[in-house]
Chains A and B, each alone.
Chain A
């Protein structure tokens, strides 16, 4: 009904020698009914990719298919897609009803069918009582719903969302996130959702595509991306606070001569090659009540941030800065204190320092 596939899709702006490549040879398959989130920092090409699916940007190379049909050259209206814009892009001079009905009217549907579809969508989104209003009389959240309503009435094969939550305040954003999930569970329409917010990506996605600099870093379920990041970029981008990355742990310490490597010799000696970058999630390090000995990391506590249910402990292992997340119910260390960290070798991520790709270590 609505599968979407990218084959060697590329995008360049400009021509000849001055061309600026934005997306270089990208492959991905999205199954019918799937909710896929494209996440990445601004400028990574994620919005460009979405706009290429929508037909608002030309495809420089490769093929985009919906249900096996190449859509590269089709007009946006012929692609069987619907898009929700960041600023909603509601027609300001039309009522909510007219906004939602406009596309159907252009498509030449009968007025009964239009009323039925708009009424149904309005009912799903709980905006039935707003149909006669103009967009300027609506709140941000209501406009957002109308924008979704305009997408739903088209009954497209693919929904495209371009950062639709970034104009909402934090509370409304969390609520709308849930509603989008609920909506997707009800309609089961293939959805491509672009965001730069990794929390949004983690909570919404069935599968996520992490993009950086015009290329895909990793495709996978939120769990697999979080637990087994494929690259240093993914490791640092997904998760808040981000994964601790120890890049220079093998270098000798500046003043004292006590390098991180010396401190960790017993722990890491056999598992990790010295040129690898080490990664540890803040919640995977546990402070234990025993002096440093074989298998434990020595941590010097520097700053403690209390967040309510949990606290963040900033400190150093040797010369490397580390953040640890700890439940608030556990006893808090004091600033300046030396404590021991227990990190299961299976929770240790290693990355090739040169390529930035994940190295599967022996403990896995």
Chain B
């Protein structure tokens, strides 16, 4: 099957390099833009593809806020990043906890309408947040949860995908294991804590990565429900920077903020890479 033809090898590598360039070039432009001054970016068309010398200044302003040469004020990014980090973590852990428990109930207990419950959860997969955002907003608003961390995270927590993933994993747990635990005297919650959760660690880790990024990248929901500066996540912060009014947009700061917003999810992926792949691919856990 594996042929050793030089021409083919060259072609393969060219294709791969082309793919990397297509994916990597925009990112490169963002990084480069974040090292130049606003004037450099606007005046040179097209902008220079060589790094400028204002990198430290740009990132300092983006992160801590400040006043620019042209008089524009920039709000600091770090409180917004803190909001994003907190909400992404709460959403990820909340999703995992709720999905673990609901999958546990669906797989290991025999109750009335068990299958109906599963399908109800499963059907919500087909209703993304955009579809139900009106009612959700009205519920959260009438509960007085606008501009709170609870309001920002709780509506995003229930997850059919995660429940489904855990259900599929739990179905592979042999009956004899459950029975052995029963004979050992473990209560259902002890079985859950001592056996199911430890056995699910790879799945949990993989889900954490996915859900953290999901939470971090939330845009529409925070856009609707946060009006207060202190509850603004970083993704919305970037959007704020774009409406610069008369002063025009400070693209160098926008790009620096974009890079800052990319760092935490990238770190999570890098740290959990091994687990992510194992959790999604490995059937033998």
With A102-B194, A106-B190 as known contacts, state yes or no: A89 contacts B182, CB within 8 Å: no
Residues B176 and A76 in contact, CB atoms below 8 Å apart: no
Residues B190 and A76 in contact, CB atoms below 8 Å apart: no
Residues B176 and A77 in contact, CB atoms below 8 Å apart: no
A101 nearest in chain B by CB position: B184
Tell me the minimal C-beta distance from A288 to chain B in angstroms: 54
A162 nearest in chain B by CB position: B176
B198 nearest in chain A by CB position: A93
Residues B195 and A76 in contact, CB atoms below 8 Å apart: no
Residues A91 and B185 in contact, CB atoms below 8 Å apart: no
Residues A56 and B179 in contact, CB atoms below 8 Å apart: yes
Count of chain A residues with a beta carbon within 8 Å of a chain B beta carbon:
24
Bound Cα distance A88, B177 (Å): 9
Bound Cα distance A87, B94 (Å): 35
With A92-B199, A93-B198, A93-B199 as known contacts, state yes or no: A103 contacts B185, CB within 8 Å: yes
Residues A77 and B195 in contact, CB atoms below 8 Å apart: no
Count of chain B residues with a beta carbon within 8 Å of a chain A beta carbon:
16
Tell me the minimal C-beta distance from B212 to chain A in angstroms: 24
Question: Is A85 an interface position by the 8 A CB rule?
Answer: yes
B178 nearest in chain A by CB position: A89
Question: Is B97 an interface position by the 8 A CB rule?
Answer: no
Contact code string A76-92 (vs B, CB < 8 Å = 1, else 0): 11100111011111111
Question: Is B11 an interface position by the 8 A CB rule?
Answer: no
Question: Is A307 an interface position by the 8 A CB rule?
Answer: no
Question: Is A201 an interface position by the 8 A CB rule?
Answer: no
CB contacts (< 8 Å) of A91 on chain B: these are: 177, 180-181, 195
Residue among A85, A93, A102 making CB contact with B179, cutoff 8 Å: A85
Question: Is B183 an interface position by the 8 A CB rule?
Answer: yes
Question: Is B105 an interface position by the 8 A CB rule?
Answer: no
Tell me the minimal C-beta distance from A49 to chain B in angstroms: 15
8 contacts between A and B (CB under 8 A): A54-B183, A56-B182, A56-B183, A81-B183, A88-B176, A91-B195, A93-B199, A106-B190
Q: Residues of B with Cβ closer than 8 Å to A?
A: 174, 176-177, 179-186, 190, 194-195, 198-199
Besides the contacts A106-B184, A106-B190, A107-B185, what 13 more A-B pairs have beta carbons closer than 8 Å?
A54-B179, A55-B182, A76-B185, A83-B180, A87-B174, A87-B176, A89-B177, A91-B180, A93-B199, A102-B184, A103-B185, A106-B185, A150-B184
